[in-house]
Amino acid sequence: MPTLYDPSFSKTITIMCEHNAQGAMGIVLNQPTSLDIYDLITADKPKQDKDDSLLSIRIHSGGPVNSDHGFILHDCNIERESTIQVAPTLFLTSSADILDEIAQGQGPSNKLIALGYAGWLPGQLEAEISDNSWLTTEYQHQLVFDTSAELQWLEAGKRLGIDLNLLNSQPGHA
């Protein structure tokens, strides 16, 4: 919501990956960084040996917690101990070897690589939702993988029937 002033979450889309009695964990989807996949795995590899088609794989800021830890959201189940199912066709993996596969042109075709995550203590997310800090909607593949980061926030609002540009954080007076 526009009333959420925390710069880590202002105008963001966050996908909930885990939510239980211990708290909640999610990945911010629409905060790309200037990093590419080679910045994470092969910084010592000469530039001329890098595959230019992979330079378009941007790394996102997944949230303010553990920003040095990588996560990959993807739409196919891969056999990794660190893979969890987030939705029927959405998975989260934190295994470093999947980055090497992606850099070799293998691995999941639909993916979002993020550093860090968003975390909430028990009851914290529920309180923020109750305070109208967040709008919620179901997972939508197209929004996660096919919509540019710049448009995801507004597109999510449209899917809820809301033009987020028209929301105001100031209360009205009659």
Residues of the chain where predicted confidence (pLDDT) is lower than 70: 1-5, 42-53, 168-174
H helix runs in 26-148, sequence order:
37-41, 97-103, 124-130, 141
In 3D, which of 57, 40, 174 has the Cα closest to residue 116? 40
Domain covering 14-165 assigned CATH 3.40.50.11900 in the classification? no
The pLDDT score that the predictor gives to residue 37 is 81
What are the boundaries of each domain within the chain? 14-165
The pLDDT score that the predictor gives to residue 50 is 63
The conformation of residue 145, written as its DSSP 8-state character, comes to I
Q: Residue 46: CB partners within 8 Å, gap ≥ 6?
A: none
Tell me how many degrees the CA angle 125-19-126 measures, rounded to the nearest 5.
20
Q: Tokens in use for 7?
A: 């710069």
Q: Give the global pTM.
A: 0.85
Q: Tokens in use for 63?
A: 């949230």
Strands (E), 21-64: 23-28, 32-36, 58-61
Q: Are 99 and 133 within 8 A, CB to CB?
A: no
The pLDDT score that the predictor gives to residue 131 is 86
The pLDDT score that the predictor gives to residue 173 is 58
**C-alpha span between 62 and 27 (Å, rounded):** 5
The pLDDT score that the predictor gives to residue 79 is 73
